[in-house]
Amino acid sequence: MVKISVLQHAPEAHLPIRPGDPTPTSRNLDPLMHPFARARERTRALNAAKMDRMFAKPFVDSLEGHMDAVEVLARQPGSLTTVASGSWDGGLILHNLSTRRQLFKVPQAHKGKVSGLCFAEGERLLSCGVDRNVKLWSISGSSETPLNVFPGKSAFNSIDHHRSDPLFATASNLVQIWDETKSAPISNLTFPTSTETITSVRFNLSESSVLASIGSDRTFTLYDIRTGKAERRVVMQMRSNALAWSPTFPTTILLASEDHNLYTFDIRHLTTPSQIYKAHVAAVMSCDWSPTGLEFVSGGWDRTVRIWKEGQGHTPEVYHTKRMQRVSSSIFSGDARFVLTGSDDGNVRIWKAKASDKLGVITARERAAMEYRESLKERWKMDTQVGKVARTRHLPKSVYQASKLKRTMLDAQRVKEERRRKHTRAGETKPKPARKKVVLVEQT
Amino acid sequence: MDILVARADALQPLGKKRKIHHSPRTPKGSSTDRTLHSVSKHTSVPKSFSRLPDAPTTYKHIANKKLRADLNRHTAQATRAKALLEDAEMLLGDEAGKIEVEGELEKTWRVGQDEIAEGAGQEAAKGRREWKLDGGPYRLRYTRNGRHLAIAGRTGHVATFDWMTGTLHSELQLQETCRDITFLHDHSHYAIAQKKYIFIYDRDGVELHCLKSHIVPTRLEFLPYHWLLASIGNAGYLKYQDTSTGQLLVEHRTKLGACTTMAQNAHNAVIHLGHQNGCVTLWTPNLPHPAVQLLAHLGPVVGLSVDPSQGGRYMSTAGKDGTVKVWDCRNWKGAVREWSVRSGGDVELEWSAKGSLAVASGGSVNVYATPSIHTPMHTKAPPPLYLTHPIPHRPLTSVRFAPFQDVLTIGHAAGLSSILVPGAGEPNFDSAEADPFENKKARREKEVKALLDKIQPDMISLDPEFVGSLAPPPKLTTVTTIDGKPPVEIPFARLPRLERLKASGKLDETEAAEAENEKDLDDNGKLKSREEREKRKQRGKGKSLKRYLRKQRKNVIDPTAVAIRKKLEKQREEKTRARLAAKNGEEPKKFSALDRFKRAP
């Protein structure tokens, strides 16, 4: 007896039971059923990379109102929308990012430029200027007179508020700690041998009594306000222009240096930076961490804004526009989705932190598709074409030429060094890693 | 400051190595978590977590830590995915058909179609049909999901229909010769090789395009993932037309005359052509010559098919000489097996998705089943027959298996007959690839998705897995050791010229070898100093000959170069002889007859 069975598909298993039901799908994961799976996935990855570039429209808006270059920006802790900006003409504006309106404006907050801004507890704002004054403003009202004025002895360069206590620190030729209720500084902090200007000062966010400053004498100094002393100092090859503490990793600090690089340091180990970030082609003027601690933004003298991933020292995202001049200040927004930059042309610009991000409501399917595209790009980034599309950025001609020139010079230097080493006695000179060259000396 | 560091004690300075505290009391192996230990008795970890990849490739040789971690992660993930794939097979719903016989004496080929149709289910029995049509011998083609059928009679009767429900999409009387028909990406378009040109029609039979660059086409193939329509004609030109952009991609001159046999390998999109002189050639769009050419038969090749069940590994050919051969596409050294069919003439071949081979010749269709058809055999015995079905309407011009069905349809002089072949079809389809039950919306969506995923034609190659595989190491760097130091990699651009030539394979070593032979010896038989050699070097002598030699590659034996080399050798020998003579003063004269009168010195 012969047993015969012939393949048949039960239609009820493959057709919707009632009209309007979704059609049942079936899967067969046998690779023979999916010919060219890899080639098709690569095509998809290439399309994903291209779509990413197609939708890359990072510029959101610009906030106007300043008469001169924007020197400083500050974000209100705990608020997603409130941002203060100070300019070289002494003006001070409080912006609302979502409505793009000015909440509060003082055209002549200081004589000369506003050099530092920070928010204090309870809707108050502290500003310092080169007119040797620190002023405390109430931002809830609209009066143009400050709540309090703290007169200093020399021009201030920077100000930062303590995370929890009513204290703030200013930087002039020395670091001073002030109490909000007292009109004179409660302590002066300085490294014993330091004589030059302090350009910026920042409190640590979690270990809130630790303070870091950078100075024009190429130093980076750590203080503790409890002991009232400068604890450590590092002299570097070039001076730094800005510094920022990591919001998630308390021992990490980011320095924006004059030598076109950014450095992250682990303050427990100050002899070498933990990472060098190289892409700017002129001095880096400002830097700020994303609240997630995974990214940071930097603005440079080369008129570009760059957004870096923590730990990846090359190929950052780069933003530029025709009319944007030297970027003197840059901050992340509180939700890590936007970046704000203030530049010499007097505008504060809002950018997306991720260039091809879609603003507005995103459905679950759309989100899933976006995540799939992200992972495809990640997976195929080593492919020549996909990688090229994902990596290539258009740069202004001046920046492009400058980077080319810089590369040529660095190459030449390296080759020269190599040749010199080749023709000296073996083992006499060792190549020095770039990370070892940054710090000249560490002092305690 | 120290307080901060002390507080952050768990994380020590990066520069220092972390001390690992070994507690001496607990012996090794028992240092597991107690809670875990107590819980583990009563719980079981999900299979996906518990099964570790058996032997993941380690990347210990890679110095870059980040890259190494990435690679390790990816490999582990891939291994796990592969392991999980086996579990997913349980989810496959439908079962393949089969014929089971009891005992040796019963043969499957004795089972006739009536008996199979009787034994099959009601739905499956619909596959056994006869269509009586009087349009001449018919060619036919299924869509990729096996739902729709297109037929073209020699005299111009063309129809497309959904053969399961019996819905006719279009029926045309073209009043001219139609040699082949194929669906494009789905049943909404089809192409017909007509008397002079290829025409493209839509589902309703409206003529959309006339492809005038394809002249007198005989066979058509559509490569669905590349959106290419390939045609071969009487002039012997293989032409690829991109149906998504409409441009004629490339035309290859086969130089082998008229061709009426064509098949595609569904797994690498290579086009196989069978020619009049018995050659089978394999073509890709990016090569102007065949990727493979083999002499398969001692007469015209009439039937050709590639096995989809083994990833395109086997190909079968049939010749006018009445033999059928199965070839291994990875190793062209002779056929895997060959046999002759009883009635010669035009033999049509087709592999099914599960590896059954249908051979239509003379007045019958024979089906051979899978393991025996692939096993190598030295004798010319035919493989054991699985099924046979006589069809009295000669000639049989086309055989096609319906995808995802156990149905084989034969086009012949009196129409079409479809028979049931249990076990021929793939039982489980994937809705993302081809779905027999898809609705209109799904079809439309699939069309868009397929266009987005279209693979570029220059990525067709014999090995489809080359995409995403590691590139061969570039020649542009060389690894050299400088005076005993560890080897360093120097980029091509910074090598000295000689090294660059050597790296790019352009350096001719003959000169160097000759220069070695021709060590300059001074009068005292010593090596001259470098300066002296430089000074004495005669510029321009024999330059043209040497230049000629330099331009020649050493591994090419060229009679002119050999002659020149010989000549130079001769010159060199003469030179050395002269030098020796000069060294020894007078050349020793031959003894002459008058020497006997010489006074002794």
Domains of chain A: 79-352 (2.130.10.10)
Q: Which of B467, B470, B481 to mutate to test the interface with A (most CBs of A within 10 A)?
A: B467
Whether residue B528 has pLDDT greater than 70: no
Same domain, B268 and B166: yes
| A331: amino acid identity, one letter | I
Whether residue B17 has pLDDT greater than 90: no
Same domain, B244 and B198: yes
Q: CA geometry: angle at A85 spanning A82 and A90, to 5°?
A: 145
Q: Are residues A43 and B453, on separate chains, in Cβ contact within 8 Å?
A: yes
Domain end among B427, B443, B459: B443
Measure the CA–CA gap between B399 and A293, rounded to whole angstroms.
65
Whether residue B10 has pLDDT greater than 50: no
Same domain, B370 and B518: no
Measure the CA–CA gap between B330 and B327, rounded to whole angstroms.
9
Number of H helices and E strands in chain B, helices first, is 13, 31
CA dihedral B481, B485, B491, B493 (to 10 degrees): -80
User: What is residue B511's predicted lDDT score, i.e. its pLDDT?
Assistant: 53
> Largest alpha-carbon pair distance within chain A?
111
Q: Cβ of B105 under 8 Å from any chain A Cβ? A: no
pTM (predicted TM-score): 0.82
User: B190 and B182 in contact (C-beta within 8 Å)?
Assistant: yes
User: What is residue B527's predicted lDDT score, i.e. its pLDDT?
Assistant: 53
Asked, for residue B292, whether it belongs to a domain, the answer is: yes
| Chain centre distance of CA B434 | 23
ipTM of this complex prediction, to 2 decimal places: 0.84
Extract the tokens encoding B437.
Answer: 């039950």
Q: Are residues A6 and B494, on separate chains, in Cβ contact within 8 Å?
A: no
Q: Cβ of A57 under 8 Å from any chain B Cβ? A: no
Classify A435 as helix, strand or coil: helix
Q: Cβ of A250 under 8 Å from any chain B Cβ? A: yes
Asked, for residue B56, whether it belongs to a domain, the answer is: no
User: What is residue A304's predicted lDDT score, i.e. its pLDDT?
Assistant: 96
Q: Cβ of A26 under 8 Å from any chain B Cβ? A: yes
Measure the CA–CA gap between A175 and A159, rounded to whole angstroms.
10
- Which residue shows structure tokens 């690894």? B479
User: What is residue B8's predicted lDDT score, i.e. its pLDDT?
Assistant: 45
Asked, for residue B417, whether it belongs to a domain, the answer is: yes
Same domain, B122 and B211: yes
Q: Cβ of A3 under 8 Å from any chain B Cβ? A: yes
Q: What is the DSSP string of A380-435?
A: TTTSHHHHHHHH-----HHHHHHHHHHHHHHHHHHHHHHHHHHTSPTTSS-PPPGG
B422 neighbourhood in chain A, CB within 8 Å: 4-7
User: A422 and B482 in contact (C-beta within 8 Å)?
Assistant: yes
Measure the CA–CA gap between A297 and A256, rounded to whole angstroms.
10
User: Do β-strands B248-253 and B261-264 pair in parallel, antiparallel, or remain unpaired?
Assistant: unpaired
Asked, for residue B537, whether it belongs to a domain, the answer is: no
Measure the CA–CA gap between B43 and B251, rounded to whole angstroms.
65
Same domain, B436 and B505: no
Extract the tokens encoding A402.
Answer: 């400058």
Same domain, B514 and B396: no
Contacts of B110 (CB under 8 A, 6+ apart): none
User: What is residue B546's predicted lDDT score, i.e. its pLDDT?
Assistant: 74
Extract the tokens encoding B254.
Answer: 């086969």
Q: Cβ of A29 under 8 Å from any chain B Cβ? A: yes
Q: Cβ of B427 under 8 Å from any chain A Cβ? A: yes
Proportion of chain B above pLDDT 90, given as a percent: 52
Q: Are residues B124 and A7, on separate chains, in Cβ contact within 8 Å?
A: yes
Extract the tokens encoding B301.
Answer: 């090749």
Residue of A9, A25, A43 lying closest to B94 (CB–CB): A9
B5 neighbourhood in chain A, CB within 8 Å: 268
Q: What is the DSSP string of A37-96?
A: HHHHHHHHHHHHHHHHHHT---EEEEE---SS-EEEEEE-TT-SSEEEEEETTS-EEEEE
The 10 Å Cβ neighbour count of residue A270 is: 20
Domain end among B497, B531, B565: B531
Contacts across the A-B interface (CB distance below 8 Å): 182
Asked, for residue B356, whether it belongs to a domain, the answer is: yes
Same domain, B172 and B296: yes
Contacts of A369 (CB under 8 A, 6+ apart): none
Nearest CA-CA partner of A178 in A120, A241, A123: A120
User: What is residue A444's predicted lDDT score, i.e. its pLDDT?
Assistant: 85
Q: Are residues A27 and B431, on separate chains, in Cβ contact within 8 Å?
A: yes
Measure the CA–CA gap between B244 and B270, rounded to whole angstroms.
19
Residues present in chain B in total: 601
Measure the CA–CA gap between B153 and B157, rounded to whole angstroms.
5
Residue A154 Cα, gap to closest chain B Cα (Å): 28
- Domain hosting B492: range is 474-531
User: What is residue B21's predicted lDDT score, i.e. its pLDDT?
Assistant: 56
> Please, which residues 272-311 of chain B have a Cβ atom closer than 8 Å to chain A?
308-309, 311
Residue of B11, B120, B467 lying closest to A6 (CB–CB): B120
Contacts of B234 (CB under 8 A, 6+ apart): B216, B218, B258, B259
Task: Name residue B196's beta-bridge partners.
Answer: none
Whether residue B516 has pLDDT greater than 50: no
Asked, for residue B507, whether it belongs to a domain, the answer is: yes
Extract the tokens encoding B193.
Answer: 């090789």
Classify B131 as helix, strand or coil: strand
Residue A98 Cα, gap to closest chain B Cα (Å): 37
Whether residue B540 has pLDDT greater than 50: yes
Same domain, B342 and B263: yes
Give the domain CATH number at B264: 2.130.10.10
Kindly indicate the confidence band of residue B71, based on its pLDDT and cuts at 50, 70 and 90. Answer: confident
Q: Cβ of B557 under 8 Å from any chain A Cβ? A: no
Q: Are residues B433 and A232, on separate chains, in Cβ contact within 8 Å?
A: no
Q: Cβ of B165 under 8 Å from any chain A Cβ? A: no
B464 neighbourhood in chain A, CB within 8 Å: 35-36, 38-39
Measure the CA–CA gap between A328 and A341, rounded to whole angstroms.
8
Whether residue B15 has pLDDT greater than 70: no
> Please, which residues 174-233 of chain A have a Cβ atom closer than 8 Å to chain B?
204, 207, 210, 222, 224, 226-227, 231-232
Q: What is the DSSP string of B380-446?
A: -PPPPEEEEEE--SS-EEEEEEPTTSSEEEEEETTEEEEEE-TT-S-S---TTT--TT--HHHHHHH
Measure the CA–CA gap between B347 and B164, rounded to whole angstroms.
28
Q: Are residues B467 and A39, on separate chains, in Cβ contact within 8 Å?
A: yes
- Which residue shows structure tokens 């970027």? A327
Same domain, B281 and B175: yes
> Please, which residues 377-416 of chain A have a Cβ atom closer than 8 Å to chain B?
380, 383, 415
Q: Where is pLDDT greater, at B108 or B89?
A: B108
Whether residue B378 has pLDDT greater than 70: yes
Same domain, B432 and B527: no
From first to last of the 444 residues of chain A, give the pLDDT tens digit. Answer: 788 999 988 888 888 988 888 888 898 988 899 999 999 999 999 999 999 999 999 999 999 999 999 999 999 999 999 999 999 999 999 999 999 999 999 999 999 999 999 999 889 999 999 999 999 999 987 788 999 999 999 999 999 999 999 999 999 999 999 999 999 999 999 888 888 899 999 999 999 999 999 999 999 999 999 999 899 999 999 999 999 999 999 999 999 999 999 999 999 999 999 999 999 999 999 999 999 999 999 999 999 999 999 999 999 999 999 999 999 999 999 999 999 999 999 999 999 999 999 999 999 999 999 999 999 999 899 899 999 999 999 999 999 999 999 999 999 998 898 888 888 887 777 888 899 999 999 988
Q: Report the residue of chain A nearest B309, measured CA to CA.
A: A32
Residue of A8, A10, A28 lying closest to B429 (CB–CB): A28
Q: Cβ of A13 under 8 Å from any chain B Cβ? A: yes
Asked, for residue B469, whether it belongs to a domain, the answer is: no
Asked, for residue B181, whether it belongs to a domain, the answer is: yes
Residue A56 Cα, gap to closest chain B Cα (Å): 20
Question: For chain B, how far is it from start to end, CA to CA, in angstroms?
Answer: 109
Q: What is the mean pLDDT of chain B?
A: 84
Same domain, B516 and B384: no
Measure the CA–CA gap between B153 and A331, rounded to whole angstroms.
73
User: What is residue B1's predicted lDDT score, i.e. its pLDDT?
Assistant: 53
Nearest CA-CA partner of B434 in B228, B142, B227: B142
Kindly indicate the confidence band of residue B18, based on its pLDDT and cuts at 50, 70 and 90. Answer: low
Q: Cβ of B111 under 8 Å from any chain A Cβ? A: yes
Same domain, B411 and B326: yes
Nearest CA-CA partner of A7 in B106, B310, B418, B126: B126
- DSSP class of residue A339 equals E
Q: Please give the tally of structural domains in chain B.
A: 2
Q: Are residues A32 and B14, on separate chains, in Cβ contact within 8 Å?
A: no
